[in-house]
Amino acid sequence: MSYQFIRFELSDQIATITLNRPDVLNSFNMLMAKELQNAIKRCEEPDVRAVVLTAEGRAFCAGQDLDEVAPAEKPWPDIRDIVRESYNATIKAIRSLEKPIICAVNGVAAGAGANIVLACDFVIASERASFMQAFCHIGLIPDSGGTWFLPRLVGLPRATAMMMLGEKIPAADAFAMGMIYKVSPEESFRDDVAELATRLSKMATRGLGLTKHAINQALSNTLEGQLDLEEELQGAAGSTDDYREGVRAFLAKRKPVFHGK
Ligand code: T3D
């Protein structure tokens, strides 16, 4: 698939996906959502060991392109189709990719854009980034997993306020309340993202993927169920070459060299 609204770059086993509709703050039309899903799927190939999701221009993403849902002389599209095909499919793709995804939030993230951020494994925000559950301003409910992720990340009182008031939350506040992994000064933002991506790309990729699988289940599983799952996934991790290399390297007091297998 060739891409019109995103860019996909692969270098040193790190895939960088860039939302690229800066004139409309990288808001999603249906094609951009399909392209993003396709790019995430592409990252399942073994030549990718870490993924960076970021965006072009001054914003990360302003959610749904509202021009697309309010066409001048046509009936409005069925909103359920958009939620299912653009957003639910994207969140499922992010969570089911068994590779670490860093979201590098370069500016404002609003509506579905804010919740796609929360679905990623690591969120590094530039200090000028902000987060806004904008849905309430247009009579909608938070989608793209927002009602699931936010209360778990920041607790009910703050999540409710964010979702019902739709205020812009500065990156520093988002960090302070545990919503994101890190805030970076503008000058070091790109370097900080690159450093984390490089570090992750050299780790035991299969082990990280299985960890993500376990995290996916952990938030709704029983302890009993999670212990069973850990047993099963540890069996898979323990059969990788990287596990053997990790143990040998430890015993030989040298740094491990993982190949992601
Ligand atoms: O079908 C469905 O709707 C279901 C799916 C729902 C998922 C959702 O995401 S619903 C929520 C949709 N998003 C929003 O409601 C956010 C709308 N945007 C904003 O509130 C603000 O633009 C921001 C807070 C994100 C940024 O504010 P600011 O002041 O930095 O920028 P701005 O001046 O508002 O926007 C700059 C341009 O981008 C402007 O166009 P112009 O005047 O330069 O020609 C603006 O219209 C455009 N833009 C911003 N957001 C969107 C958009 N155009 C289309 N869709 C947008 N979402």
Does the beta carbon of 62 lie inside 6 Å of ligand 1? yes
Does the beta carbon of 55 lie inside 6 Å of ligand 1? no
Check whether residue 165 and residue 242 sit in a common domain: no
CA nearest to 105, candidates 87, 129, 121, 84: 129
Tens-place pLDDT, residues 147-201: 999 999 999 999 999 999 999 999 999 999 999 999 999 999 999 999 999 999 9
Tens-place pLDDT, residues 90-111: 999 999 999 999 999 999 999 9
Assess if residue 171 is contained within a domain. yes
Check whether residue 151 and residue 213 sit in a common domain: no
Does the beta carbon of 125 lie inside 6 Å of ligand 1? no
Does the beta carbon of 169 lie inside 6 Å of ligand 1? no
Assess if residue 257 is contained within a domain. no
Q: Give residue 231's domain range.
A: 205-252
**What is the Cα–Cα distance from 177 to 261, expressed in whole angstroms?**
36
Check whether residue 229 and residue 144 sit in a common domain: no
Assess if residue 259 is contained within a domain. no
Which domain CATH number covers 100? Answer: 3.90.226.10
How far are the Cα atoms of 5, 96, 155, 233 from residue 29, in angstroms, in the given order?
Answer: 9, 22, 31, 37
Q: What is the largest CA-CA distance in the chain?
A: 71
To test the pocket of ligand 1, the residue of 23, 66, 144 to mutate (highest count of ligand atoms within 8 Å of its CB) is: 66
Among 175, 201, 227, give the residue marking a domain's end. Answer: 201
pLDDT number for residue 77 = 87
- 152 Cα: distance to centroid of ligand 1 (angstroms): 26
CB 30 within 8 A of CB 59: no
Q: Domain tally for the chain? A: 2
Percent of the chain at pLDDT exceeding 70 = 100
CA nearest to 134, candidates 124, 144, 149: 144
Check whether residue 151 and residue 91 sit in a common domain: yes
**What is the Cα–Cα distance from 249 to 15, expressed in whole angstroms?**
28
Which domain CATH number covers 224? Answer: 1.10.12
Please identify which residue in the block is written with the tokens 């050299």.
Answer: 202
Assess if residue 60 is contained within a domain. yes
**What is the Cα–Cα distance from 84 to 102, expressed in whole angstroms?**
24
> Taking the chain (261 residues) in consecutive chunks of 10 residues, what is each chunk's mean pLDDT?
96 98 98 98 98 98 95 87 98 98 98 98 98 98 98 98 98 98 98 98 98 96 98 98 98 97 93
Check whether residue 23 and residue 150 sit in a common domain: yes
The pTM of this model reads: 0.97
CB 112 within 8 A of CB 143: yes
Assess if residue 261 is contained within a domain. no
Check whether residue 22 and residue 121 sit in a common domain: yes
Does the beta carbon of 135 lie inside 6 Å of ligand 1? yes
